Amino acid sequence: MPVITLLTDFGTSDEYIGVMKGVILSINPAVTIVDITHRIDPQDLVQAAYTINACYRYFPPGTIHVSVIDPGVGTGREIIALKMAGFCFLAPDNGILSLLLNNISVDEAISVNNPDYFLNSISRTFHGRDIFAPVAGHLSRDVMLNQLGSPIDINTVKRLDLPRIKRLSDNVISGTIISVDHFGNLITNIDADTIYSICSGKPEKIPVVEIAGIDIEGLSDNYTTVPVQQPLMIIGSRNLLEISVNRGNAGRLFGKQKGDTIRMNVKEQKI
């Protein structure tokens, strides 16, 4: 019962995702296909990089993760297949897998160029259907990674310049909003360890974020620690700092969006 996941910026209003599934099922009718999301903002490789990093590990070992955010479709850009942490990742060589490459080691890396596993006719605009889907279908059966093409040096794989946390002083940092989720939660790139570190692990030191003129102090354990429509900070499901509003929408309330900067400092309180 192999699993193939699909992560794209194709949306769900056209036939594109359905067609990819048809191609996969034509090759392997026994596969289970799971949509991660198809609403990555068009061509947003950074958002895709964070999303695949947040989800891959929750799938069964051997799952084939297919990520198609592909503004260079039809150009000479390569398609890569990487074996990492017991999973297989298939993506254009444009940096989508950067965050994974920072975090986990690569067991095998292949440039996918063997047309035996492509559809017979390759369109200019839809390699998701013509290359990614059939290759994933074959991989989920009995085709080995090294049959898909030639080995590559992992150091040649393209990396994105991902937003980093900046240390502005001993206990002031700035981070970036990497995503505004469906609820309007502002997901930042500031991880729990960094917050622990700037607070020196001392409970009397609490992190403070100023946003739109309001100070949010300390980390909440759940959304109801503040009154309805009031903001809070919480370590979210990606183990990253999120700014939320209890039963509200932080993105709309604060007019913040993806890419905006968040500044955090530390306040000492009496306990």
Chain residues binding a copy of itself by CB under 8 A are 1, 3, 5, 7, 9-19, 21-23, 25-26, 29-30, 32, 34-39, 42-43, 51, 54-55, 58-60, 63, 71-75, 123-126, 129, 179, 181-183, 220-224, 234-237, 239, 242, 246-247, 249
* Neighbouring C-beta atoms of residue 219, cutoff 10 Å: 16
Q: Distance between CA 212 and CA 230 in Å, rounded?
A: 13
Q: For a copy of itself, give the closer residue by CB, 73 or 145.
A: 73
Give the closest residue to 4 by CA, choosing from 70, 90, 71, 82. 90
Q: For a copy of itself, give the closer residue by CB, 3 or 162.
A: 3
CB of 183 to a copy of itself, least distance (A): 6
CB of 225 to a copy of itself, least distance (A): 9
Alpha carbon 251 to chain centroid, angstroms: 19
Question: 238 in helix, strand or coil?
Answer: coil
CB of 266 to a copy of itself, least distance (A): 21
Within 13 A of 102's CA, how many CA atoms are on the CB side? 13
* Neighbouring C-beta atoms of residue 226, cutoff 10 Å: 16
CA angle 100, 260, 102 (to 5 degrees): 15
Q: For a copy of itself, give the closer residue by CB, 76 or 213.
A: 76
Q: For a copy of itself, give the closer residue by CB, 7 or 173.
A: 7
CB of 174 to a copy of itself, least distance (A): 23
Q: For a copy of itself, give the closer residue by CB, 17 or 84.
A: 17
Residue keyed to tokens 């609820």: 183
Q: Distance between CA 100 and CA 86 in Å, rounded?
A: 13
CB of 166 to a copy of itself, least distance (A): 26
CB of 59 to a copy of itself, least distance (A): 4
Q: For a copy of itself, give the closer residue by CB, 100 or 109.
A: 100
Q: For a copy of itself, give the closer residue by CB, 9 or 152.
A: 9
3-state secondary structure labels for all residues of 56-114: HHHCCCCCEEEEECCCCCCCCCCEEEEEECCEEEEEECCCCCHHHHHHCCEEEEEEECC
CB of 48 to a copy of itself, least distance (A): 10
